[in-house]
Amino acid sequence: MTMNAFERLLFRLRDVVGERYVVHRPDALIVYEYDGSVDKHLPRAVVVPGTTQELALCVALCHEVGIAVVPRGSGTGLSGGAVPTEGTVQIVTSRLRSIIEVDAENRIAIVEPGVINADLSIAVESLGLYYVPDPSSQRACSIGGNVAENAGGPHCLAYGVTTNHVTGMEVALADGSMVWLGGEAREAPGYDLRGVFIGSEGTLGIATKIAVRLMPLPEMIRTMVAVFGSMDQASKSVSDIIAGGVVPAALEMMDRVTIDAVEPTYHPNYPAEAQAVLIIEVDGLRESVEDQSAAIEQLCRDNGVASYESSDDSERRAELWAARKGAIGAFGNLKPNYYLVDGVVPRTKLQEVLAKVAEIGAEMDLMIANVFHAGDGNLHPCILFDERIPGETERVLDAGGQILKLCVDAGGALSGEHGIGLEKQAYMPLVFTDDDMRSMARLGPAFATDDGFNPSKVFPVGEGSEAETGYSKTRRAGTSDVV
Q: Residue 323 is part of a domain; what is its CATH number?
A: 3.30.70.2190
Contact present, 119 and 81 (Cβ < 8 Å): no
Q: How many domains does the chain have?
A: 4
The whole-number pLDDT of residue 462 equals 62
Q: Which of 282, 301, 328 is the endpoint of a domain?
A: 328
Cα dihedral sign for 440, 446, 447, 452? positive
For residues 131 and 195, state if they share a domain: yes
Domain-embedded: residue 455? no
Contact present, 162 and 151 (Cβ < 8 Å): yes
Q: Residue 11 is part of a domain; what is its CATH number?
A: 3.30.43.10
CA nearest to 88, candidates 32, 128, 131: 32
Q: Tell me the per-residue pLDDT of 75-94, one tens digit each, with 9 for 90 and over.
A: 999 999 999 999 999 999 99
Q: What's the pLDDT band for 463 if we cut at 50, 70, 90?
A: very low
Burial 63-101 (b: 16+ CB within 10 A, else e): beeebbbbbbbbbbbbbbbbbbbbebbbbbbbbbbeeee
The whole-number pLDDT of residue 185 equals 84
Q: Residue 175 is part of a domain; what is its CATH number?
A: 3.30.465.10
Q: Residue 472: pLDDT above 60?
A: no
DSSP state of 135: -
Domain-embedded: residue 150? yes
Domain-embedded: residue 85? yes
For residues 228 and 315, state if they share a domain: yes
Query: How are beta strands 89-92 and 69-72 bridged, if at all?
Result: parallel
The whole-number pLDDT of residue 450 equals 81
For residues 364 and 435, state if they share a domain: yes
Domain-embedded: residue 457? no
The whole-number pLDDT of residue 3 equals 62
Q: Residue 1: pLDDT above 50?
A: no
For residues 161 and 234, state if they share a domain: no
Per-chain mean pLDDT for the chain: 93
Q: How many percent of the chain have pLDDT more than 90?
A: 91
For residues 184 and 273, state if they share a domain: no
How far does Cα 450 stand from its chain's mean position?
26
Domain-embedded: residue 454? no
Q: Tell me the per-residue pLDDT of 123-166, one tens digit each, with 9 for 90 and over.
A: 999 999 999 999 989 999 999 999 999 999 999 999 999 999 99
d(CA 79, CA 399): 16
The whole-number pLDDT of residue 151 equals 96
Cα dihedral sign for 263, 264, 269, 271? positive
Q: Residue 465: pLDDT above 60?
A: no
Q: Three-state DSSP class for 145?
A: helix
The whole-number pLDDT of residue 464 equals 36
338 beta partners: 384
Domain-embedded: residue 190? yes
For residues 41 and 77, state if they share a domain: yes
Q: Residue 478: pLDDT above 80?
A: no
Q: Tell me the per-residue pLDDT of 4-49, one tens digit each, with 9 for 90 and over.
A: 889 999 999 999 999 999 999 999 999 999 999 999 999 999 999 9
Q: How many percent of the chain have pLDDT more than 70?
A: 95
Domain-embedded: residue 431? yes
Q: Residue 378: pLDDT above 80?
A: yes
Q: Which of 199, 216, 233 is the endpoint of a domain?
A: 216
Q: 10 Å Cβ neighbour count for 41?
A: 19
The whole-number pLDDT of residue 259 equals 98
For residues 105 and 207, state if they share a domain: yes
For residues 184 and 239, state if they share a domain: no
Q: What's the pLDDT band for 474 if we cut at 50, 70, 90?
A: very low
For residues 340 and 308, state if they share a domain: no
369 beta partners: 382
Give the C-alpha distances (Å, rounded to integers) separating 64 from 47, 80, 422, 450. 16, 26, 26, 11
Q: What's the pLDDT band for 471 if we cut at 50, 70, 90?
A: very low
For residues 286 and 188, state if they share a domain: no
Q: What would the mean pLDDT of 360-383 be, rounded to a whole number?
A: 96
Q: What's the pLDDT band for 483 if we cut at 50, 70, 90?
A: very low
Q: Where are the alpha helices (DSSP H) in 150-285?
A: 156-159, 193-197, 231-243, 256-266
Q: Residue 395 is part of a domain; what is its CATH number?
A: 3.30.70.2740
For residues 226 and 302, state if they share a domain: yes
The whole-number pLDDT of residue 477 equals 32
Q: Residue 385: pLDDT above 70?
A: yes
For residues 237 and 264, state if they share a domain: yes
The whole-number pLDDT of residue 42 equals 96
Q: What would the mean pLDDT of 266-283 be, rounded to a whole number?
A: 97
Domain-embedded: residue 453? no
Give the C-alpha distances (Å, rounded to integers) separating 295 from 62, 155, 244, 300, 393. 58, 19, 8, 9, 44
Q: pTM for the whole thing?
A: 0.92
Domain span holding position 228 = 220-328
- Indicate the range of 12-16, 339-343, 411-415, 458-462 predicted with least confidence: 458-462
Q: Which of 92, 127, 156 is the endpoint of a domain?
A: 92
Q: Tell me the per-residue pLDDT of 432-453, one tens digit each, with 9 for 90 and over.
A: 999 999 999 999 999 988 889 9
Q: Tell me the per-residue pLDDT of 172-193, one tens digit each, with 9 for 90 and over.
A: 999 999 999 999 887 778 899 9
d(CA 308, CA 378): 24
